A and B are shown apart, each in its own frame.
Chain A
């Protein structure tokens, strides 16, 4: 059983982090900086899969390096770049390299990234990647063929967007993910504790752990960008205004304070946090200290 699964099953408030692999083979920033700042404060670390459709080192490789260091990776798999043969191969491949936690995502469309002329695959999607994982866990591939050696203890994750509109569609899809074997959820970034509370009121009946997604807002500009370009994410003015008013030197402090306030509000509602620091990994220990986590 993975440490992540163990932590959630024991009912501990569980914190995960996230790193994005570099474009190129210089690992210094990713491994020596981002990972080293957060590794002692999180149970497991997500590694993104060509996030925003921008080509980078594969998630599988960075996850393997993390596992070799004794850290616990969460392999993100999107449906955009590989068909069901490649995805199942990577699930099994990850397993023999020590990876137990896998998170299934549909993936952004190719047109949003740096290779817009590439072929969108989407043979599977966030739901059917879970179908594939669950099938492999039960000893068969998607075509029904028997496996030699069964990766029975893969821990299957999925994502959900608490701020999505229409929320009913989001909940139907969440339910579908659970039916296909999702054992934990990490959420898209959310900043409104009321919206999160309403979502959890509806989602808690599924009894599947939900880790609230935290993206630290670094500036008013970033908040505006997210409001305009990231679907399902709404940063309220009550967060934007203080950041706009703070001086450049004070901004990180203000920004951390705002996140601490939000985390304290949502902590009783969910089973943990998923912190996507996006370059601000160095502030994560301080943020968690201030939340007594």
Chain B
């Protein structure tokens, strides 16, 4: 389970402003379990966007966006609507946003922020990864994550260690910021680099208790561990 929560409304509107038409792609996996996805969220976002003068050309839900091959094969059915759209709003964790970005040639915008999974994920479908930084930057970085793709997780751009598009840490490793630069250049969005925040907020990597208890993760936990507690409470009640 990758915990992801809706981006704050104001931040989301800032990210979509400047676009006239969007396509929405929703993940049918974790966001549904986190109550931050599914049909209700698509409807809510469609309404919110049209209130802000942005047309939603279409939407689709795909299980699961972390399966990139599946994303590609499903998006083909929406090619006409995608052609009419200037960008794709993705309801997913950071992995789904990156995987979707990899399949299309228009910008992706994350509708959600991914929180730290605080440990091993168990799934590793492809090269896209999400560190759960709690402040999804993908709208500004061409759908390529600076936190996981840059060895220093820099948000202010390329460091002096980049050489021939590679990282100073490993000769074969791509420089994440070079990939971002190339992608933004292709998208005609280099000015995005000027909009990135200067500082990171590390508090956002910590999962607040509220999120832990409102997710499927908590439900699973409740079923396994809370059932005996509930039963014993019942027993106590009947004894009285």
Number of cross-chain contacts by CB at 8 Å: 80
Instruction: Tell me whether A122 and B154 are in contact (CB under 8 A).
Output: yes
Instruction: Tell me whether B156 and A123 are in contact (CB under 8 A).
Output: no
Residue A154 interfacial (CB < 8 Å): no
Instruction: Tell me whether B181 and A231 are in contact (CB under 8 A).
Output: no
Residue A211 interfacial (CB < 8 Å): no
- With contacts A109-B152, A125-B154 taken as known, whether A131 is within 8 angstroms of B198 at the C-beta atoms is yes
Query: What 0/1 readout, one digit per residue, does chain B (115-159) give for beta carbons within 8 Å of chain A?
Result: 000000000000000000000000000000000000111111111
Q: Which of B157, B168, B194, B202 has the most CB of A within 10 A?
A: B157
Bound form: Cα–Cα A144–B178 in Å: 33
Bound form: Cα–Cα A159–B159 in Å: 11
The residues in A between 172 and 191 inclusive whose CB is less than 8 angstroms from any CB of B are 172-173, 175-176, 180, 188
The residues in B between 189 and 221 inclusive whose CB is less than 8 angstroms from any CB of A are 190, 193-194, 198-200, 202
Query: What 0/1 readout, one digit per residue, does chain B (152-185) give for beta carbons within 8 Å of chain A?
Result: 1111111111111000110000000110010000
Instruction: Tell me whether A169 and B177 are in contact (CB under 8 A).
Output: yes
| Partner of A172 from B162, B190, B198 at Cβ < 8 Å | B190
**Smallest CB-CB separation from B182: which chain A residue?**
A166
**Chain B residues, CB < 8 A from A169:** 157-158, 177-178, 181, 193
Instruction: Tell me whether A231 and B160 are in contact (CB under 8 A).
Output: yes
Least distance between B197 CB and chain A CB atoms (Å): 9
Residue A168 interfacial (CB < 8 Å): yes
- With contacts A125-B154, A127-B198 taken as known, whether A112 is within 8 angstroms of B169 at the C-beta atoms is yes
Residue A59 interfacial (CB < 8 Å): no
The residues in A between 121 and 149 inclusive whose CB is less than 8 angstroms from any CB of B are 122-128, 131, 142
Bound form: Cα–Cα A76–B196 in Å: 25
| Partner of B156 from A108, A164, A168, A176 at Cβ < 8 Å | A176
Bound form: Cα–Cα A166–B158 in Å: 10
Instruction: Tell me whether A109 and B169 are in contact (CB under 8 A).
Output: yes
Instruction: Tell me whether A131 and B159 are in contact (CB under 8 A).
Output: no
Least distance between B163 CB and chain A CB atoms (Å): 4
Interface of B is mostly: loop
Instruction: Tell me whether B199 and A172 are in contact (CB under 8 A).
Output: no
Classify chain A: how many residues form its interface, as a range. Answer: 20 to 34
**Chain B residues, CB < 8 A from A161:** 160
| Partner of A125 from B151, B152, B168, B178 at Cβ < 8 Å | B152
**Chain A residues, CB < 8 A from B160:** 105-106, 159, 161, 164, 188, 231-232
Residue A11 interfacial (CB < 8 Å): no
**Smallest CB-CB separation from B181: which chain A residue?**
A169
**Smallest CB-CB separation from B196: which chain A residue?**
A176
| Partner of A123 from B151, B162, B190, B200 at Cβ < 8 Å | B200
| Partner of B168 from A124, A166, A188, A231 at Cβ < 8 Å | A231
Instruction: Tell me whether A106 and B168 are in contact (CB under 8 A).
Output: no
Bound form: Cα–Cα A108–B181 in Å: 20
**Chain A residues, CB < 8 A from B178:** 166, 169
Residue A120 interfacial (CB < 8 Å): yes
- With contacts A128-B198, A166-B181, A180-B198 taken as known, whether A111 is within 8 angstroms of B158 at the C-beta atoms is no
Instruction: Tell me whether B153 and A108 are in contact (CB under 8 A).
Output: no
Instruction: Tell me whether A122 and B152 are in contact (CB under 8 A).
Output: yes
Bound form: Cα–Cα A287–B49 in Å: 65
Bound form: Cα–Cα A173–B198 in Å: 11
Bound form: Cα–Cα A108–B198 in Å: 19
Instruction: Tell me whether A109 and B157 are in contact (CB under 8 A).
Output: no
**Chain A residues, CB < 8 A from B181:** 166, 168-169
Q: List 7 A-B contacts (CB under 8 A).
A: A111-B169, A124-B199, A125-B156, A170-B158, A231-B160, A231-B163, A232-B160
